[in-house]
Amino acid sequence: MDFVIIVVILALIQYIGFGILVGRARGKYNVPAPASSGDPIFERYWRVHQNTLEQLVAFLPAILLYSSLGNPVIAAGAGVVYLLGRLLYLRSYVANPESRAIGFLLTFAPTAFMLIASLVIGIGNLMSG
């Protein structure tokens, strides 16, 4: 479970880091708060940050559920894939939003796997017990 906790902490630090990048882009591209639009590059950083928040809402419960019901080592590995997917998503989306698919897939797939596996294990536990 320690590996899972480390991955969860890294996911939260990554999200905070993406927020810092938004703040830096705000200054660099002259988009004063509270505006969330203006320069297209700023908007890409802002959108990556927002999309990461949207993904965290599913990822965090998924990794905690699967690490408890399933296998914590596999959960931590899936979490590392998620983290790398988010980094790739950031780089691709800022460079060209149309190139974000692989980063998104590497984020979505581990979360979907852990949620579905947790559901199957949970139903299996109910039926056997």
- Among residues 76, 66, 102, the alpha carbon closest in space to that of 11 is found at 76
Looking at the predicted structure, is the pLDDT value of residue 66 above 80?
yes
pLDDT average, residue stretch 22-50:
96
**The pair of three-digit structure tokens given for residue 114, joined into one six-digit string:** 């852990």
**The pair of three-digit structure tokens given for residue 103, joined into one six-digit string:** 């980063």
pTM of the predicted model as reported, rounded to 2 decimal places: 0.95
pLDDT in the model for residue 65 = 98
- CATH code, residues 2-122: 1.20.120.550
pLDDT average, residue stretch 36-48:
96
Looking at the predicted structure, is the pLDDT value of residue 52 above 90?
yes
pLDDT in the model for residue 91 = 98
Share of the chain above pLDDT 90, in %: 98
pLDDT average, residue stretch 42-52:
98
- What are the structural domain ranges in the chain? 2-122
pLDDT average, residue stretch 62-68:
98
What sign has the CA pseudo-torsion 103, 33, 16, 118?
A: negative
pLDDT in the model for residue 49 = 98
pLDDT tier, 129 (very low <50, low <70, confident <90, very high otherwise): confident
